[in-house]
Structure 1
Amino acid sequence: MKLLKKYADVGGKTRFYDTAEDEPPMDGVVRKDWREAVVDDKGRVERIPYELCVLVALRDAVRRREIYVEGAARWKNPEDDLPGDFEATRTVHYAAIRQPLNPRAFIADLKKRMTGGLDGLSAALADGSAGGVKVTTRRGEPWITVPKLEPLAEPTGLQKLKDEVVRRWGVFSELPTTVEG
């Protein structure tokens, strides 16, 4: 952000960053598949594509709540979401969500469940009981294909719900008539 701020008042005709003075960070900012668009064949970093990558990385970090926006409601400091007495009652809160206090135990259990799920998928793919799911390749890369599902029957009571909505609030534009799974 310091680099972008430094170049904020530099004219738009300055296409590249001065790499001798400012080495723009790449890791965590520019995705590997975007590097060709950001760095030219001489190793110079183009400003506009780089700044777009910074904004995308910033947006993603805000969404993951790695960083927060002071004064915002949705993107506030995640520490503010915890109960005020969280540290004193941590065991109670962890018990309520059925999670271990020890992060190593949490990670070990997660790895065990993920490995079991992947082993189950591998077995189902091998014996043909995966419901039509297949692992193929697309453009030379592994690709998982899932068969298109048929629409489910309309749930019982959906029409009554629609009628009640219309009775209470009037006619809306098209409400869905089927539920797809």
Structure 2
Amino acid sequence: MIQILEALEFGSTNTVHAPMMEALALIKRYKAEANNRMKCYALGEHVPVEGIIPAELVELMYRADSTRRQRILRTVYECGVFQSLREKLRCKEIWVVGADKWRNPDDDLPKDFEANRAENYAKLRKPLDPKRFTAELMEELDAELSALNDALGGKGLPWLKIEERRNAGAIHLTPLDPAPEPRNLRRLKTAIRSRWGVVPLMDMLTETALRTGCLNVFTPAGTQNHLDAQVLFERLLLLIYA
């Protein structure tokens, strides 16, 4: 991925995305200058994080060194930057110089679009007045939603309504009645109670995990796991139990 980045030139006219451009430049610079054995960024290095690294990777990104100072792992940081870059490329907040599909969005329109605005809007069959455009769109949406409401209402669906609601969506579903209890559930509970008594389910789960070692097949989402084995074991048990 980094070799691909080195061959591409990225651009953006929005200053909001300046941190992303700095992050890409940082990754390229460390690829060119730093040794691959250098797992963390140097102390004092400006590493843009806010608004770039997804929340699920932030905790995995930091690592304490021998002096207990927090360092940023390069591999995790690069993965976070690549994820954010993918999303920004898709909506063209950042573009690739010389590309076609991922080009500068300013190049998507003809250069004379503003000069020939009336003619271009006529070809698109859209009004020049933005208020008229939004009014027509709202009218169309209201008509289609009303038609859907009438069609569903005629089919005898009392549990479904389409109505104006301020703090939620327009489609309202009445909660269904609870499903009947499975026929064999009570039999299953009785069989468990007769064999193991009133042993809590958590204790049964813990004993099963200790005897079989089934939790050893779980692997972390990141490249490294710095949690103590006992702490990880307890967290996995709680997650499975929940």
TM range (shorter): 0.5 to 0.7
> What is the alpha-carbon distance in structure 1 between the residues aligned to residue 51 and residue 82 of structure 2?
12
Q: 1:2 and 1:99, CA in 2 relative to 1: closer, same or farther beyond 3 A?
A: farther
Q: 1:54 and 1:76, CA in 2 relative to 1: closer, same or farther beyond 3 A?
A: same
1:84 aligns with 2:111: yes
> What is the alpha-carbon distance in structure 2 between the residues aligned to residue 99 and residue 36 of structure 1?
50
- Asked if the contact 2:113/2:120 (under 8 Å) is kept, the reply is yes
Task: Report the equivalent of 2:194.
Answer: none
Task: Report the equivalent of 2:75.
Answer: 48
- Matched residue count: 120
TM-score for both structures, normalised by structure 2: 0.41
Larger RCO, structures 1/2 (Cα 8 Å, 6+ apart): 2
Task: Report the equivalent of 1:62.
Answer: 89
> What is the alpha-carbon distance in structure 2 between the residues aligned to residue 25 and residue 97 of structure 1?
44
> What is the alpha-carbon distance in structure 2 between the residues aligned to residue 36 and residue 53 of structure 1?
12
> What is the alpha-carbon distance in structure 1 between the residues aligned to residue 83 and residue 169 of structure 2?
35
Among 114, 119, 122, the alignment partner of 2:169 is 119
RMSD: 3.4
Task: Report the equivalent of 1:29.
Answer: 52
Letter of the structure 2 residue corresponding to residue 52 of structure 1: C
For residues 68-107 of structure 1, the C-alpha deviation after alignment (integer angstroms, 9 at most, x for no partner) is 212212111111111232112445555736477659x96x
TM-score for both structures, normalised by structure 1: 0.52
4+ runs of 1 displaced by more than 2 Å? 40-43, 88-103, 116-119, 125-128
For residues 32-57 of structure 1, the C-alpha deviation after alignment (integer angstroms, 9 at most, x for no partner) is 12101112354311011101211222
Q: Greater helix share, 1 or 2?
A: 2
